[in-house]
Each structure stands twice: as C-alpha cells, then as structure tokens.
Amino acid sequence: MTISTIERQILDHIDDAQLIQWVQELTRIPSVWRPQTGAGEEAAARWVAARCREMGLETHFEEVQPGRPNVIALHHGRNNGPTLMFEGHTDVVTEGDPAQWTDPPFAAVIRNGRIYGRGANDMKAGLVCALIATKAIVESNVRLNGNILIGAVCDEEGQMIGIKDFVRRGWADSVDAAIICEPEENHLCIAQKGVMWMRVRIEGVMAHGAMPLTGVNSAYPMARLLTLVHSLEEREIARFGCHEFLGQPSITPTILRSPHVGEPQNNVMPSATETILDFRLIPGQDAAWLAQQVQIMAAAACAADERLCFQAEVLEVRHPTHTGRTEPLVMELA
C-alpha cells in the first residue's frame, strides 16, 4: 500500500517510546471494578483525560456512577466533515489471585518484548494507541476534513453502563464511523456476537434430607431444564451452522446456585435452584424467540409436580453486529 505524503507526515510523529511508556503508566493504574470498596475506573479515566487535555483536545469528564466516569475528547477538523471515533474502555477484569502471577498484576513489567499486566492487552494498549494516533495528528498540523472523537468509557466488562450513557447523552449521534480499539491480533474484526443473559429460578419445597418426601426438590427440574437447554443449543447450531467470522452460537449455563440464597447444607433439600444462561448470538438468531423457548422448557421441567413453579427473566440483550466488507472504513483499513 502506498503511503501518501499526509499519512507519512502523521506517521513521522508517532513516538514509539512514549507509546510504551504510556501503556505501562496506564496499566499500573488498577481499574478493576470492586463494588465492595467502590474502587473503579476513576483514576485511569483521570489519567486519560489529562493526556487529552495536554494535547489540546476538547475534553469532557462525565460521571456515569460515583467513581465510574467516561472521558470524551474531541479533535476538531475543518469543513464540518464526518466524525471518526476511537473507542476503548478503562475497566479491566479481575486479576484473580496475585500469587498466581509471575510478576505483580499491575507492575507492567517488560519482558521478551511484551508488557505484562492485568489489562495491558484488554485494553489499556488499545486505548493508548488511540491517544498516540490522535496526538500524532495534532502534532503534525495536518488539518483533517473531519473530526476525531476519543471515547474512553467505563464498565465494558460488566453491564456496559458507560457506552449506554455515552449514547443516552447524544454523543453517538455525531459519530459517522468507529474503530473499536480492542485486541484482535492485528486483524480487522467486522462482526461481533450478541449476548443474552437469562436468570431462571425453580422453586420447590425445602425439606430435611431424612424426610425428602415432605418437600419437593428443585434440583431435579433444574437438571431437566438444563438438559433441554443443551438440546436447544444443538438445534440452533444445526439451524445456523458456523458463521464465517463468529463460529457457532452457544448457550452456556454459567452460574448454578442451590439453594439460591442462604448456605447449602449436606442434609437439607434446597427450596429453590437458580441458573444464569449465557446466550452468544450470531446474525439471524432471534433473542425473543429463544427466551420464549426457555419459558416453555422451564414449564415442561416443572410439570411433574404442581408444587413446583419457576421464574424466567431476561437480564439483558445485546444484538449481534456485522459491518459490510465494502463499507468505506473497512475498505480503507483492509
């Protein structure tokens, strides 16, 4: 691919040493959301906002929930042209047991050409790349025929309250195209699975293990339900096959609680059993229809005893997405 004079002018302002330094700095700021202590993304977001202000961007610091802000920064071009968004998130998943790490999880140690730290890959590095790219554009004095918008949002690893707030406040209305700076092994990712989470609770009657006939065990109908859910997954795979980019759809029971509240005991039959179902959707699947099927299957699983009842609730739906191969941004980056 031939690089234009303007592109070369911008690329000449990419500072690799600063990029590495910034990735280390941002990785060293823990930004795991910890509800028990209230610790979250604020320190990381303030670091991002400071870098944006240093390069002269119009910077907005918007609190979504206490300690959980979004940072939105704008570099204005000329001619009132289109807006390209660089999107990333400041939160990272839990580091787990620090004793299992070779180095401290937030040390951002460089070894064998890699930076090791929780969130270095997902996605402090991608966020820093967006900052460095924008900084190079600013310092090159190239006047774009459009705008750059950086969105560093909170809570991508949870309920996505950050990007929802970004949309609710109207920021997305001005965005014509977006590059999501997630790690994809340097490949363009033009499709994304959707997700639906459901909670299903089956209620029976608690009893002592020595007198099980005085109660109704909720574990058995839950076992029947999960068997039916597995068969639904197999039917969906047979219907939709393997997507070119996303592979097969799936339905995964991720949490199973019995009893659903309180402490389990070896000699007590649970009064209720609860599961969370994680649906990963590919284009063409119908989330509402799938939720209806779970309702039908839960009713069937409880049909053996009139004392059994169930509750099935959709917690969240995020639909699958696909960007066409011939979209201008895809063609330009391919």
Choose the catalytic residue: 156, 165, 236, 274. 156
Identical fold at 5-183 and 192-318? no
Name the active-site residue from 41, 87, 91, 203.
91
Asked if residue 198 lies in contact with residue 255, where contact means CB atoms within 8 angstroms, the answer is no
The contacts of residue 34 (CB under 8 Å, 6+ apart) are 40
- Name the percent of the chain lying above pLDDT 70: 99
Has 155 been annotated as catalytic?
no
Average pLDDT, the chain: 95
| Residue tagged 């977001």 (tokens) | 45
* pLDDT range class, residue 229, cuts 50, 70, 90: very high
Percent of the chain with pLDDT over 90: 87
- 178 backbone dihedrals φ, ψ, rounded to 5°: -140, 145
Instruction: State the Cα–Cα distance between residues 308 and 310, nearest whole angstrom.
Output: 7
Q: How far apart are CA 230 and CA 249, in angstroms?
A: 12
| Averaged pLDDT, 148-155 | 98
CB neighbour burial string for 143-174, b if at least 16 within 10 angstroms, e if fewer: ebebbbbbbbbbbbbeebbbbebbeeeebeee
Tell me 39's DSSP state: B
Q: Distances from the Cα of 328 to the Cαs of 103, 174, 177, in angstroms?
A: 43, 17, 9
Dump pLDDT digits (tens) for 9-48: 999 999 999 999 999 999 999 999 887 887 799 999 999 9
> CA dihedral in degrees (121, 123, 126, 130; nearest 10)?
-160
Helix or strand (DSSP H, E) at 240: helix 219-240
pLDDT in tens, 39-78: 799 999 999 999 999 999 999 999 999 999 999 999 999 8
**Where along the chain do its domains lie?**
5-183, 192-318
Q: How far apart are CA 23 and CA 109, in angstroms?
A: 11
d(CA 65, CA 112): 39
Kindly give the residue spans of alpha helices, DSSP state H, lying in 86-218. 125-140, 161-168
Tokens encoding 152: 């560093």
Residues 103-151 have pLDDT tens digits of 999 999 999 999 999 999 999 999 999 999 999 999 999 999 999 999 9
**pLDDT score, position 84:** 97
Residue 1: pLDDT band by 50, 70, 90 thresholds? low
What CATH superfamily is the domain 5-183? Zn peptidases (3.40.630.10)
Cα–Cα distances (Å) from 16 to 20, 107, 114, 118, 214, in that order, read: 6, 20, 14, 21, 71
Quick check: is 156 catalytic? yes
pLDDT for res 184: 85
Task: Identify the burial level of 46 via C-beta atoms within 10 angstroms of its C-beta, where 0-12 means exposed, 13-18 middle and 19 or more buried.
Answer: middle
Topology annotation, domain 192-318: Alpha-Beta Plaits (3.30.70)
Residue 123: strand, helix, or coil: helix
**Residue 79: is its pLDDT beyond 90?**
no
